[in-house]
Amino acid sequence: VPESLTRALAAHPNLVSLQYANNEVGVVQNIPALAALCREADVLLHVDAVQAAGHLAIPLDGIDFLSASAHKFGGPKGIGVLYVREPRKLRPLIYGGSQQYGLRPGTEPAALIAGLAAAFKVTCAERRQRTAKKRALAEEFWQTLHAARPEARLHTPADGLPGLLSVGLP
């Protein structure tokens, strides 16, 4: 991926958006290294952390924008979070109201925000134990499947997203 990103950065984009962890095969990107390439090229970086938030440690160094969705870590549906390193650099698409630094109009869904915060706090506190359990269950599943079907192919890397296995069967 660093080679692909380097080629893409040669076109001088204004923004790069990368997926932290893939939801189909479980590949986890080395975001700190990719963020360094973006910083070097003076390009803003957005990270889609929907699959990773609450399940993996996410260093924010070099990330300008990061999005996540509460329902992926046990929070309520219909609420997400957008981390913005420098909110003053954003311009609203729709004007009205002073919510979120004047970037959006409308009433903020306080109950959903509280639910997101509570779920994230619990998920992060239990992350290490949950990760170990998910990895053990995934390994047990893979070993059982592979013993029964030796032709099965595992696509998820060992350091992939915890609890996700991508398997191919001919």
On whether both 43 and 101 belong to a single domain, the answer is yes
On whether both 57 and 110 belong to a single domain, the answer is yes
Give the separation between CA 15 and CA 98, rounded to whole angstroms: 26
Q: What is the pLDDT of residues 39-54, one digit of tens each?
A: 999 999 999 999 999 9
On whether both 43 and 112 belong to a single domain, the answer is yes
Q: How confident is the model at residue 106 (pLDDT cuts 50, 70, 90)?
A: confident
Q: Which domain holds residue 143?
A: 128-168
On whether both 58 and 139 belong to a single domain, the answer is no
Residue 73 is predicted with a pLDDT of 94
Element (H, E) at 81: strand 80-84
CATH code at 102? 3.40.640.10
Across residues 69-93, what is the average pLDDT? 91
Q: How confident is the model at residue 107 (pLDDT cuts 50, 70, 90)?
A: confident
Is 0.85 topped by the overall pTM?
yes
Counted domains in the chain: 2
From first CA to last CA, the distance across the chain in angstroms is: 28
Give the separation between CA 82 and CA 136, rounded to whole angstroms: 32
